[in-house]
Amino acid sequence: ETGVTQTPRHLVMGMTNKKSLKCEQHLGHNAMYWYKQSAKKPLELMFVYSLEERVENNSVPSRFSPECPNSSHLFLHLHTLQPEDSALYLCASSQEGLAGVTGELFFGEGSRLTVL
Amino acid sequence: AQKVTQAQTEISVVEKEDVTLDCVYETRDTTYYLFWYKQPPSGELVFLIRRNSFDEQNEISGRYSWNFQKSTSSFNFTITASQVVDSAVYFCALSEVLSNYQLIWGAGTKLIIKP
């Protein structure tokens, strides 16, 4: 099993659809992250979960809804998205979380989302 | 204001050439960390190095080397004798106390190594 796996790898959805992205980590880490990667922009941190506590970027629209049922699984629920939400969504994990990132982040390969 | 600047959007060199990727950062903290990550075409970012603000020694790992200079707030990355497999997008990142140590990313430099 690779360290961090994301499904699906590619997703095309209409603006009225509801879909979810899934992330699973097999590294025993206690923090998981969702990042948004848009072309030629810095990675944007959307959400962090650490020991079931959540920190979010206040600029993330409510049409993105995270869920972390346990320390190994992370979901990003998507509903009524806009075309500008098309991007690569990356999941990551680390040993730290809310205490800060002084160590290494382990990333999945991402879910490429296209909103029509 | 951007805290991590990677001014080179894209660099293209021929295989075996040396190439340096620039990273300039801004922080008011005295304690901070700097990182480089590589993103190959497959998508996942791969950690390359972490440096803390108290360690200005340059680092060498095989064909990779990093030059950390606090005087110029730079943390540049050099690949010696580049290879096609080095083609990727490279990200520099900063974590600092003031940002609660959450990573602040540069926009990335796309490196193309031509055979």
Q: Which residue of chain B comes nearest to A91, CA vs CA?
A: B44
Alpha-carbon span A40 to B89, nearest angstrom: 10
Residue B25 near chain A (CB below 8 Å): no
Pairing state of beta strands A111-115 and B59-61? unpaired
**Minimum mean pLDDT among A1-10, A47-56, A77-86, A95-104: which range?**
A95-104
Give residue A56's pLDDT: 74
Q: Which residue of chain A comes nearest to B38, CA vs CA?
A: A107
Helix or strand or coil: residue B98?
Answer: helix
Give residue A98's pLDDT: 56
Residue A104 near chain B (CB below 8 Å): yes
Residue A106 near chain B (CB below 8 Å): yes
Residue A97 has pLDDT above 70, yes or no: no
- Nearest CB neighbour to A41, from listed B4, B44, B107: B107
With an 8 Å Cβ cutoff, are A90 and B4 in contact? no
Give residue A52's pLDDT: 65
- Mean of pLDDT over chain A: 89
pLDDT in tens, B51-74: 989 988 888 999 999 999 999 999
pLDDT in tens, A64-81: 999 999 889 999 999 999
Residues of A within 8 A of B107 (CB-CB) are 40-42
Give residue A16's pLDDT: 85
Give residue A66's pLDDT: 93
Q: Give me the amino acid identity at A67.
A: E
Q: Which residue of chain A comes nearest to B100, CA vs CA?
A: A100
pLDDT < 70 positions in chain B = 1-2
User: Could you tell me the pLDDT band of residue A50, with boundaries at 50, 70 and 90?
Assistant: confident
With an 8 Å Cβ cutoff, are B44 and A105 in contact? no
Residues of A within 8 A of B91 (CB-CB) are 43
Q: Which long-range contacts (CB under 8 A, 24 or more apart) does B97-102 make?
A: B97/B29, B97/B31, B97/B32, B98/B27, B98/B28, B98/B29, B100/A98, B100/A100, B101/A96, B101/A99, B101/A100, B101/A101, B101/A102, B101/B33, B102/A45, B102/A48, B102/A100, B102/A101
